[in-house]
Structure 1
């Protein structure tokens, strides 16, 4: 089975995970210089022209021992999906990570363009499905991940996938320092996808308040909320989050029981939640909804990407 360093021709078995609003080309370029891979959500770009320019910038600054890719939401909620996939294939990237839907079309088109596809999975059933579609690796999203996390512990998920699948397993979640990275490798992961520790980087695209929150708060301050996307998501338990609560409103609960209305309620909640998250990440506001995972426990200061990578390797 190929290691992540072999799959992506990188020096260290780490992907800087794609994070909504946080990830940008500066982070990925510095990550590549440090010998790891970096990934950006395609949805961080408002237009496909902006996405195309980002790819060109990354290709121009790519160095030996580094690699870059993009994350695609592959279900109907992403109306830009098909044009984003087209741009990625036309311009050429090293890898694509798929989330929230069937990756079949992405795998087929990406492979024609010579691009590897790694798929987010949270259980064995979906892992076997994407293996049958010829994915190149599994991103095993465990219950320690930030954002929309899985239900199984890192050890249980990695072990089950390795016992039942032939694809390389990349662990996502629960890595905040070097010993935790080594722990994931000891369970049988070929590498790790690490997000939250990189939020408090000098190069990340969010404001100082968000970065400092990742320093000031720890793992005990991470809670689950349904108030962002309608699906449980991990956030920092700020006073504002405590004020608005973490559950759906009573009217959302009623409407969610209606099969015809459920989809629209979720779309509205997602839109409202994303707007609140964007405002908290980019502007000075008391409405602080900051997405992060428990691995911020080991974030002690705001540092350059290069120093954060050094702390893992």
Structure 2
């Protein structure tokens, strides 16, 4: 059976999702993305309150145009204590799609489907892809070893092939797309579309400081390193002098606490909160404590442009 295209799944003009990025994504970016003929997604965690999340949905619904589509990303594991309420709001108010990350998407798939919402699940390997296929996901987002933030361990070509051969689900590739040539490469491997994040950090509409945006222009692929110091899960960041100073490995105390089964969950939650706070400060204000999350595809960011001009680089 032939797999649907991303354009047919989301009624978009181009096979692109602007990836959900903590702090970076906002309604302005999504609206400009929709106007440019692509889908775009915001982490539900970018909104502190459920009321703010609702307001964002109202704004996006009012601004929706043919050829564009909007969705939200849900962290579906226990570290996100707001998850159930966020899911309820998304289903009640209605969105085009939900992307799930870091946990079992079972409840999200069941509830979203009742509301007519499509669910795409982040996966990093075939084992998890098969699980989400059984649960009824509409597509899988293949997070490869070139992605920004929490990335996978498998090269895009290998991962897309494994998922296409091992499941019947459409595969959307995430990671390693900074220009049109790289986008076409992912499609040639068998992806129905791509999820692109880091190139949109250096956009006028992104909700972060000018310093963060400029860093994505000034630094390149060789400056991206993995750190365990943010969320407890390895994450890619720009190797700024501050990151070099604090190091990228967990401290001996964090290591010890993480080995204690009864404490591990709480340690991860506290680490997540501390790390998130550090990233928030660095992303929204000029500070010497610069922890800027990004992926190697910033290599192709040569200026701070509009979302429209960045989309055009991929499709024109």
TM interval, short-chain normalised: over 0.9
Q: What are the ranges of 5 or more consecutive residues in structure 2 without an aligned counterpart? A: none
- Separation in structure 2 between the aligned mates of residue 158 and residue 257 of structure 1, nearest angstrom: 33
Determine if the alignment matches structure 1 residue 290 to structure 2 residue 298: no
What is the aligned partner in structure 2 of residue 85 from structure 1? 87
What is the aligned partner in structure 2 of residue 55 from structure 1? 57
Give, in angstroms, the shift of residue 263 of structure 1.
1.8
- Separation in structure 1 between the aligned mates of residue 77 and residue 265 of structure 2, nearest angstrom: 13
- Separation in structure 2 between the aligned mates of residue 66 and residue 135 of structure 1, nearest angstrom: 21
Give, in angstroms, the shift of residue 258 of structure 1.
1.5
Structure 1 stretches of 4+ moved >6 Å: none
- Please point out which of 30, 33, 51 is paired with 1:31: 33
What is the aligned partner in structure 2 of residue 72 from structure 1? 74
Determine if the alignment matches structure 1 residue 211 to structure 2 residue 213: yes
- Please point out which of 257, 262, 265 is paired with 1:263: 265
What is the aligned partner in structure 1 of residue 149 from structure 2? 147
- Separation in structure 1 between the aligned mates of residue 62 and residue 276 of structure 2, nearest angstrom: 31
- Separation in structure 2 between the aligned mates of residue 114 and residue 260 of structure 1, nearest angstrom: 39
- Separation in structure 2 between the aligned mates of residue 65 and residue 256 of structure 1, nearest angstrom: 46
Q: What are the ranges of 5 or more consecutive residues in structure 1 without an aligned counterpart? A: none
- Separation in structure 1 between the aligned mates of residue 116 and residue 185 of structure 2, nearest angstrom: 32
Q: TM-score, normalised by structure 2?
A: 0.98
RMSD: 0.6
- Separation in structure 2 between the aligned mates of residue 232 and residue 4 of structure 1, nearest angstrom: 29
What is the aligned partner in structure 2 of residue 43 from structure 1? 45
**1:227-261 CA-partner distances (Å, limit 9, x unpaired):** 00111100000000000000011111122222112
How many residue pairs match? The answer is 313
- Please point out which of 185, 188, 192 is paired with 1:186: 188
- Separation in structure 2 between the aligned mates of residue 138 and residue 256 of structure 1, nearest angstrom: 30
Determine if the alignment matches structure 1 residue 116 to structure 2 residue 125: no
Mean Cα displacement is larger for which, 9-18 or 248-257?
Answer: 248-257
What is the aligned partner in structure 2 of residue 225 from structure 1? 227
- Separation in structure 2 between the aligned mates of residue 128 and residue 260 of structure 1, nearest angstrom: 30
**1:2-52 CA-partner distances (Å, limit 9, x unpaired):** 010110000000000000000000000000000000000000000111000
What is the aligned partner in structure 2 of residue 307 from structure 1? 309
Give, in angstroms, the shift of residue 265 of structure 1.
1.7
What SS class does the counterpart of residue 84 from structure 2 fall into?
Answer: helix
